[in-house]
Chains A and B, each alone.
Chain A
Amino acid sequence: MGEELLKVDGLKVRFKTDDGYITTVNGVSFSVKKGETLAIVGESGSGKSVTSLALMGILPPNGEVVDGDVTYKDKDLRTLSKKDYRKIRGNDISMIFQEPMTALNPVFTIGFQLREPLMLHEGLSKKEAQARGVEMLRNVGISDAEKVMGRFPHQLSGGMRQRVMIAMALSCNPELLIADEPTTALDVTIQAQILTLLRNLKESSNTSIMIITHDLGVVAELADRVIVMYAGEVVEVATVHELFESPQHPYTKGLLDSMPKIHDVVNELYSIEGTVPNPAEMPQGCKFHPRCPFGDEECVQTHPNLLNVKGDHAARCIKLAKKELVV
């Protein structure tokens, strides 16, 4: 570990809407190191999925990257030609999505969809790709792989489809796997199986994983390092251990407190008051201040920078600099 595989610096993404432009990712910086698993955590609307789509260069047509650098190995992805970008997509960097039910094309067989990236990136013949596809399906725990290759997506369960998606994403041995909420849409038992699958992948290969989730259980299970996002910004960066041991940002603390603990008897679960602000009506100053229990006049006035706490642990809160915050 140590060598940087992907570096994102000051990424800014905006969307064109009927009411003008809305910035959903505002100056996000982080890096993914070789072989590590990085979790990006945040509520819905915090910009975590948009960040991943921007990295892949597959933002919806009304979205665009307006600022920042995305460097993969030595390549500047933002200035890469469309053709060279396509060579990276699905090959060096691949992605699995939240909704396995709709992420596969309903009119093509599993085999067709699995062979596609293999024939495209590895230059395999149809027959070779078929054999590799079967092998990939076996690797993700599908026993009757030959049969599944001939099936259509609607003939498979959600868990099976997510396995197929993972097999597809891993088929060209990517250096980085982006998993956007890969377990959210699945049953709890299936969630556990998919997580095991990802952990095995992490342990058995040198593939870096960037996992996007709002589930802190998933984070604890898989991640080496964590980025907490709020309202399009990174609000805290830490190793998984540091984050759970000593969260610095009030938002992170709130997230951790809202996780029910199995031994505590409580009448009411904790939740952070309010909701993520609408990107069109971002609060002044610190974007979290309207929901922050420590928020005061200064928080309304000043937009805080990311502040190093200890080593690589950083958080975006002005109270930290003044040591006013006891968390």
Chain B
Amino acid sequence: MKYLLKSLLKTIPVLLLITMIVFVLMRLTGDPVSLMLPENATAEERDTLRESLGLNDPLPVQYLAFLGDLVKGDFGDSFRYNMDALDLVLERLPATLELAIASMIVAVIISVPLGILSAIKRNSVLDLFITGGAVVGKAMPNFWLGIMLILFFSVTFQLLPVSGRGTLAHLVLPAITLGTGIAAEMTRLIRSSMLEILGQDFIRTARSKGLRETVVVNQHAFRNALIPVVTIMALQTATLVGGTLITETVFAWPGLGQLLVQAVNLRDMAVVQAATFIIAIFVILSNLSADLIYRLLDPRIKYE
């Protein structure tokens, strides 16, 4: 509990640093005013708009004003949508989280049995098939896999919707698209992690007790092998929340990735700030939960 509180307190400077970096970068890399006004606007008109948006103030002043609003939960309004930036982000968040969780589930369902199987049947034809498949899975670009899945399941057999969000059926193809790449990486990791653990002395002890091989593998070995796997899962979850633009685009999935890229292109500062802030919170949370899971898995890990 104390550890949790400490970790949460430690995230405050991290979040602050992130807002600062994004703030400075956004302001140094382009002027939103030129995109907001028609091309034939006069210099005077531009300057008036700039002044009214507070963009003429020195950067530190702007940043402090931004922080003052941030404390109140106000990221400002989107230039483009004329609505509260945070609302805009939070509106997209459920779609992103839904897809992230579904993709992770797909990845786990594929990788855990395959990883274990290829470890216990190492150097067999099956192992070759699985590790080969993992390379293919990792190498396939998401947009290509997404389009192939749509062609096969939606166009040819008309089993699943082509795109959009709504029912559970809408979730299937994008989740498989994203989950496959992650599953490929996790399968290889589970395999090597299991191989290392299966060679340990305590596995020999477990066998010498007369335990069934399934108990030795699934209980004694797998729990030890999970620790590096949890790390990758946390990193991948963070990536999934941060942006899966290509998959979102292929499936017209209304997630954060699309919103964020659009906002960056349009210099929609408030939206970029709000989105990166929310994403940062989820990245921190997924790392924190990985730390907590380590503790559950391995009693040797103690945090001070």
**Chain A residues at the B interface, C-beta cutoff of 8 Å:** 53, 56, 58, 60-61, 86-91, 94-95, 97, 99, 102-108, 116-117, 120-121, 152, 154, 165, 168
Report which of B199, B200, B300 forms a contact with A152, defined as CB distance below 8 A. Answer: B300
With contacts A102-B202, A103-B205 known, is A89 near B300, CB below 8 A? no
Q: Are B210 and A86 in contact (CB under 8 A)?
A: yes
Contact B202 A90 (CB under 8 A): no
When the two chains form their complex, are residues A89 and B209 in contact, meaning their CB atoms are under 8 A apart? Answer: yes
Which of chain A's residues have a CB closer than 8 A to the CB of B210?
86-91, 117, 120-121
For residue B27, which residues in chain A have a CB less than 8 angstroms away from its CB? none
**Nearest-CB residue, chain B, relative to A99:** B201
* Contact, CB under 8 Å: A89 / B207: yes
Closest to A92 in B: B210
Question: Do A106 and B211 touch across chains, with their CB atoms under 8 A apart?
Answer: no
Asked if residues B211 and A95 are in contact (CB atoms below 8 Å), the reply is no
CB of B298 within 8 Å of the partner chain: yes
Distance of A58 Cα from B211 Cα, bound (Å): 11
Residues of B within 8 A of A61 (CB): 122
Residue of A nearest to B297 (CB): A107
Q: Say if the beta carbon of B11 comes within 8 Å of chain A.
A: no
Contacts of B211 in A (CB 8 A): 86, 90, 116, 120
Within residues 182 to 236 of chain B, which ones have a CB less than 8 A from any CB in chain A? Answer: 199-202, 204-212, 220, 223-224
Docked CA distance A104–B300 (Å): 13
CB-contacts of B249-284 with A (<8 A):
none
Closest to A91 in B: B210
B208 to chain A, nearest CB (A): 5
Beyond A86-B212, A116-B211, whether A105 also contacts B206 by CB under 8 A is yes
Are A168 and B209 in contact (CB-based, < 8 A)?
A: yes
Known contacts A102-B200, A102-B201, A106-B224; A94 and B208 CB within 8 A of each other: yes
Whether B300 pairs with A106 at a CB distance below 8 angstroms is: yes
Establish whether residues A97 and B205, one from each chain, have CB atoms under 8 Å apart when the complex forms: yes
> Nearest 6 CB-CB pairs, A to B?
A90-B210, A90-B209, A89-B210, A102-B201, A105-B202, A152-B299
Q: With A and B bound together, what is the CA distance between A91 and B205 in angstroms?
A: 13
Residues of A within 8 A of B207 (CB): 56, 58, 89
Complex: how many Å from CA A87 to CA B200? 23
Q: Shortest beta-carbon distance, A275 to chain B, in Å?
A: 25
Q: Number of residues in B with C-beta < 8 Å to the partner?
A: 21
A85 nearest CB neighbor, chain B only: B210
Determine which residue in B209, B223, B224 has the highest number of CB atoms from chain A within 10 A of its CB, and name it.
Answer: B209
- Nearest chain A CB to B252's CB is how many angstroms away? 45
Query: How far does the Cβ of B170 sit from chain A's closest Cβ, in whole Å?
Result: 40
Q: Is the CB of B300 within 8 A of A154?
A: yes
Instruction: Give, as a whole number of angstroms, the nearest-CB distance from B254 to chain A.
Output: 42
Do A97 and B209 touch across chains, with their CB atoms under 8 A apart? no
Given A99-B201, A103-B201: A56 in contact with B208 (beta carbons within 8 A):
yes
A58 to B205, CA, bound (A): 9
CA distance A61 to B213 in the complex (A): 13
Q: How far apart are the CA atoms of A49 and B155 in the complex, in Å?
A: 62
B207 to A, closest residue via Cβ = A58
26 contacts across the A-B interface (CB closer than 8 A): A56-B208, A58-B204, A58-B208, A89-B207, A89-B209, A90-B209, A90-B210, A94-B208, A97-B204, A97-B205, A97-B208, A99-B201, A103-B204, A103-B205, A104-B205, A105-B205, A106-B224, A106-B298, A106-B299, A106-B300, A107-B224, A107-B297, A116-B211, A121-B210, A152-B300, A154-B300
Q: How far is the CB of A266 from chain B (nearest CB, A)?
A: 38
